[in-house]
């Protein structure tokens, strides 16, 4: 923790605070911009029956899972996840099944149609990544950004769970 404090002091407290605040706002804008990208890709794939949020939810279903686990793991709100899963089911992208042991529990998995769409979107994302991060310097910057964002995610998780920030 002392090393972090010294690093912040060397940056200047105001600079660190401004950078932190700017980063938190940037994360929100990036999420919205990424939804725009997903929307364009859905249009390019001629998929018009689901929206970008539903597409991200579909991509978060990587194996058969319970709705509760999906909510916890994928950071979707409980109220919207039910609606979005219903829509994905109606459009044939997922299959849902109630647990025989606990009728309140629902298990979901991608259908063949859902698997196919996720594979197509992954291929487009691969192409985007190769185009944007083709140089070694860009790859290094991406690795650094990923490390910092994971650290920020862990700090926020610790704060929510324990009520305080801890060094990560």
Look at residue 73 and tell me if it is in a domain.
Answer: yes
Find all residues with CB under 8 Å of 155, minimum gap 6, and list them. 165, 166, 168
Residue 41 tokens read as 């890709």
Note the pLDDT of residue 9: 53
Number of domains within the chain: 1
> How much is the pLDDT for 12?
55
Q: Please, what's the largest Cα pairwise distance for the chain?
A: 59
CATH of the domain at 90: 1.10.10.10
Rounded to an integer, what distance in angstroms lies between the CA atom of residue 43 and that of residue 52? 10
pTM of the model: 0.83
In this structure, is residue 144 part of a structural domain? no
The per-residue pLDDT for 109 is 96
pLDDT (0 to 100) of residue 73: 79
Is 158 inside a domain boundary?
Answer: no
Return the structure tokens found at 161: 């769970």
Domain of residue 105 covers: 2-132
Q: Is residue 91 part of a domain?
A: yes
Residue 21 lies in a domain: yes
Residue 142 lies in a domain: no
- Whether 63 maps to a domain, the answer reads yes
Mean pLDDT by 10 residues, the chain (168 residues): 53 79 94 97 98 95 87 77 94 90 85 98 96 93 95 91 76
Residue 18's Cα: distance from chain center in Å? Answer: 25
* Within-domain flag for 151: no
Q: How far is CA 89 from the centre of its chain?
A: 21
The span from the CA of 152 to the CA of 162, in Å, is 15
How many CB atoms neighbour CB 159 within 10 A? Answer: 12
* Residue 58 near residue 47 (C-beta atoms within 8 A): no
| Model pLDDT, residue 132 | 92
């Amino acid at each position: 923790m002392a090393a972090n404090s010294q690093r912040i002091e060397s940056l200047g407290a105001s600079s660190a605070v401004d950078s932190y605040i700017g980063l938190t706002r940037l994360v929100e804008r990036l999420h919205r911009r990424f939804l725009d990208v997903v929307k364009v890709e859905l249009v390019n794939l001629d998929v018009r029956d689901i929206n970008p949020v539903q597409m991200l939810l579909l991509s978060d279903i990587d194996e058969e899972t319970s709705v509760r686990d999906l909510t916890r793991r994928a950071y979707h709100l409980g109220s919207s996840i039910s609606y979005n899963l219903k829509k994905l089911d109606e459009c044939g992208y997922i299959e849902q099944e109630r647990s025989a042991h606990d009728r309140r529990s629902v298990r979901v998995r991608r259908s063949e149609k859902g698997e196919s769409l996720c594979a197509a979107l992954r291929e487009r994302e691969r192409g985007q990544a190769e185009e944007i991060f083709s140089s070694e310097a860009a790859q290094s910057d991406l690795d650094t950004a990923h490390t910092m964002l994971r650290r920020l995610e862990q700090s926020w998780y610790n704060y929510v769970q324990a009520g305080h920030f801890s060094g990560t």
